[in-house]
Structure 1
Amino acid sequence: MSSTLQGPEKTTEEIEKIIEQTKNSDQKIFPILKPGNWVGLKAGALSYNLINTDAGPKVVIAYGINTPDNFVFLTQQHLGTMDSKDLADEAFRNLRNYETEFTYSKVLQNKVLTSSGHDFSSERILSEAHMLKAHAMLEAEEILVSIPRRTCMMVISRNANEKLLGAFLSLHKDAWEDDSYGNAPIANILFTMKAGRITGHIALDSITRNE
């Protein structure tokens, strides 16, 4: 599925029509994770920082309408027809209602979970209820979450043994470097989570370069 930005040629009436469609069809607004250097930011896409650093944002949350052909990303124009809080509330409500499940990896001794293959698998890291399932399934107070590309999520306990963590890092690295499926990149980092919420991140750029 391709992605487009809502360009300046769209009139207010056209924007209102697009938003009205989201209320009466499957074309719903969702939060969409993007890297901090995403070109859409320069084009005025609505977003806020999820992971920020002194050098700038590493991961941002944008908002897009899931149409049959592509994602239409919302820009500042849409704030003329939608309240920003209402927009965010609707997007996260749609994400909560977007069901995805975790599966144990038998190859990795059922110590790693995957939840991949759907449009918003990666974005479900923003759903506390969903991520609490991962804590419970792994019996882990703190977890590491890999979402290198859209539609991809892998989870492991932060207290897993060194061999398993190494295998997990290899899976992340392979997914991050594999563009064969056309899934847009998000970040070469691991998220740390407690109680279903993001608590920090571990940058892997230097690790990847040194290997």
Structure 2
Amino acid sequence: MSSTIYGPEKTPEEIAKIVEQTENSDKKIYPILKPGNWVGLRAGAISSNLIGTEEDGDLEVVIAYGMDTPDNFVFLTHDHLKTMDGQFIMNEAFENIDNYNTEFEYSKALQNKVLTASGHDFSSERILSKSHMLKAHKMLEADELLVSIPRRSCMMVISKDADNELLNTFLYLHKNAWEDDSYGNAPIANIFFVVKDGEITGHAALS
């Protein structure tokens, strides 16, 4: 994952002042997962690359950043970097997603071998929380996980070593969620993320 947000060069004094102003804001910054062809990128939204790079032409998933306000979610753009520090934005966003509370539930219909954690604004983004994903390792007693986050507010997790029949069912459920736009949840990616030790280590494209 590219972990840099580029903006205008600032002196340490300017950065310290910006951080102080941002810390005093009551608006929380969160990361938002978006597909690599998201129109917001052309509109100037700041982002980090999660899968692929623009230079190589294989950009699949990016992390955008935004403020959660009472009225709506405001994506941060390069204009915000004139008055905000990029590294602080990232640190704040990842800390907030780590503290955002969602819990895994066993799927009884799938022999308690699949976990779900869906239905909340930042359910999908919780894949970026190492502590959250470590819970999944423990609950499934699995060293490696396959994680499905086809759309926002959706997450399903299975052991990478699950039997073929269960993996095929998992794939079927992912495919249905990816193709079902009836709930209006924005699409993220038609892929499985591979997670080890609580962190994304790879992915498998399904298209």
State whether TM-score is above 0.5: yes
Which residue in the other structure is 1:28 paired with?
28
Distance across 2 between alignment mates of 1:22 and 1:183? 30
Post-superposition offset of 1:22: 7.8
1:41 paired to 2:41 = yes
Residue 22 of structure 1 contacts residue 29 of structure 1 at CA under 8 Å; is this kept in 2? Answer: no
Residue 22 of structure 1 contacts residue 28 of structure 1 at CA under 8 Å; is this kept in 2? Answer: no
SS in 2 for 1:198: strand
**Matching residue's letter, 2:40:** G
Which residue in the other structure is 1:14 paired with?
none
CA RMSD in angstroms comes to 1.6
Which residue in the other structure is 1:172 paired with?
174
SS in 1 for 2:134: helix
Residue 34 of structure 1 contacts residue 60 of structure 1 at CA under 8 Å; is this kept in 2? Answer: yes
Post-superposition offset of 1:24: 4.5
**Matching residue's letter, 1:44:** G
Distance across 1 between alignment mates of 2:136 and 2:101? 14
Residue 95 of structure 1 contacts residue 124 of structure 1 at CA under 8 Å; is this kept in 2? Answer: yes
Residue 29 of structure 2 contacts residue 96 of structure 2 at CA under 8 Å; is this kept in 1? Answer: yes
TM-score, structure 1 normalization: 0.85
Which residue in the other structure is 1:130 paired with?
132
SS in 1 for 2:108: coil
**Matching residue's letter, 2:66:** G
Distance across 1 between alignment mates of 2:178 and 2:72? 22
SS in 2 for 1:191: strand
Which residue in the other structure is 1:163 paired with?
165
Distance across 2 between alignment mates of 1:22 and 1:71? 18
SS in 2 for 1:186: coil
Residue 144 of structure 1 contacts residue 157 of structure 1 at CA under 8 Å; is this kept in 2? Answer: yes
Distance across 2 between alignment mates of 1:23 and 1:124? 25
How much identity, in percent, do the aligned residues show? 69
SS in 2 for 1:48: strand
Question: Which of residues 115, 119, 122 in structure 1 aligns to 2:121?
Answer: 119
Distance across 1 between alignment mates of 2:154 and 2:90? 23
Query: How many residues were matched structurally?
Result: 186
Post-superposition offset of 1:70: 2.1
Can you list the C-alpha shifts for 1:101-127, whole angstroms capped at 9, x where unaligned?
000000000000000000000000000
Post-superposition offset of 1:90: 0.8
Which residue in the other structure is 1:83 paired with?
85
Aligned runs of 1:58-207 on 2, under 5 Å? Answer: 58-205=60-207
Distance across 1 between alignment mates of 2:133 and 2:36? 23
Q: Which runs of 5+ in 1 are unaligned?
A: 1-18, 206-211
Residue 22 of structure 2 contacts residue 84 of structure 2 at CA under 8 Å; is this kept in 1? Answer: no
TM-score, structure 2 normalization: 0.86
